[in-house]
């Protein structure tokens, strides 16, 4: 069943762990795509020097992170890739969870077409790849996860969770080494395996 907005009012770390094993769904004119979330990272708010809201920064780009939990925060990285985040917590708290990898479940041919590759383990094993496979672009900015275009479903599984350091946040001082990346143990669909703590 579709997760209600209440789910997203929890803090980012709680939601990041709870999202593992849930199913991300997008629906468009091209079709429906679904994937099991196997990797997430929590960005816990202004005190987190790795977050876009570090120091309470408020800009046109990160404005969605300050909205009430349950909406989408997407941004472009390196001028060419999109990253998908779920906003969490109360309005104004500036937290989000970056969804980094999926295990493709449905609409796999559509994902292959969008990505231009066939290997199922290479369809959504990274934040940019996942957005391409699911058809998520900047038009999803601020969109509600309670709507009919993108949402997350609970399929009743409780996977074993492994915590590790977040990827590519070397600029974040003491926050670089915090264990705020979460993966499903032994999943072959995660983005990078060499950084596991």
Q: How many binding residues for DNA (CB under 7 A)?
A: 38
Q: Residue holding tokens 């391409």?
A: 132
61 scored as a contact of DNA (CB under 7 A): yes
Q: Which runs of consecutive H residues, i.e. helices, occur in 31-88?
A: none
Q: Residue holding tokens 């960005």?
A: 43
State the minimum distance, in angstroms, from the CB of residue 154 to DNA.
22
> Is the separation of the CB atoms in 126 and 191 below 8 Å?
yes
129 scored as a contact of DNA (CB under 7 A): yes
130 scored as a contact of DNA (CB under 7 A): yes
Range 70-99, binding DNA (CB under 7 A): 73, 75-81, 83, 85, 96, 98
149 scored as a contact of DNA (CB under 7 A): no
Residue from the set 2, 27, 115, 149 that interacts with DNA by CB under 7 A: 115
State the minimum distance, in angstroms, from the CB of residue 186 to DNA.
20
Q: Which long-range contacts (CB under 8 A, 24 or more apart) does 47-53 make?
A: 48/172, 48/175, 49/171, 49/172, 49/173, 49/174, 49/175, 50/166, 50/169, 50/171, 50/172, 50/175, 50/176, 51/94, 51/95, 51/96, 52/96, 53/94, 53/95
Which C-beta is closer to DNA: that of 3 or that of 123? 123
114 scored as a contact of DNA (CB under 7 A): no
Q: Exposed, middle or buried by CB within 10 Å (0-12, 13-18, 19+), for 59? A: exposed
- Quick one: which segment of 22-30, 102-110, 119-127, 146-154 binds DNA (CB under 7 A)? 119-127
Q: What does the alpha-carbon distance between residue 164 and residue 65 come to, in Å, rounded to a whole number?
A: 23
156 scored as a contact of DNA (CB under 7 A): no
122 scored as a contact of DNA (CB under 7 A): yes
> Is the separation of the CB atoms in 129 and 117 below 8 Å?
no
State the minimum distance, in angstroms, from the CB of residue 1 to DNA.
26
Which C-beta is closer to DNA: that of 91 or that of 160? 91
For residue 41, give the 3-state DSSP assignment: strand
For residue 120, give the 3-state DSSP assignment: helix
Applying CB under 7 A, which residues contact DNA? 41, 43, 50-53, 57, 59-62, 65, 73, 75-81, 83, 85, 96, 98, 115, 117, 122, 126-130, 166-169, 171, 191
């Amino acid at each position: 069943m579709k997760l209600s907005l209440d789910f997203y009012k929890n803090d980012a770390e709680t939601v990041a762990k709870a999202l593992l094993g849930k199913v991300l769904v997008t629906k468009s004119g091209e079709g429906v795509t679904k994937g099991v979330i196997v990797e997430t990272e929590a960005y816990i708010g202004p005190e987190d020097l790795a977050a876009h809201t570090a120091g309470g920064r408020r800009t046109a780009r990160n404005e969605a992170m300050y909205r009430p939990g349950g909406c989408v925060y997407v941004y472009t990285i390196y001028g060419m890739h999109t990253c998908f985040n779920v906003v969490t917590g109360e309005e104004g708290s500036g937290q989000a969870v970056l969804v980094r990898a999926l295990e493709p479940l449905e609409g796999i041919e559509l994902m292959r077409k969008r990505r231009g590759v066939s290997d199922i383990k290479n369809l959504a094993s990274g934040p940019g790849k996942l957005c391409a496979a699911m058809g998520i672009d900047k038009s999803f900015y601020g969109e509600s996860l309670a709507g009919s275009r993108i949402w997350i479903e609970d399929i009743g599984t409780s996977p074993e969770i492994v915590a590790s350091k977040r990827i590519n946040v070397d600029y974040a001082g003491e926050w670089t080494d915090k264990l705020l990346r979460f993966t499903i143990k032994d999943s072959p669909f995660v983005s990078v395996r060499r950084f596991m703590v």
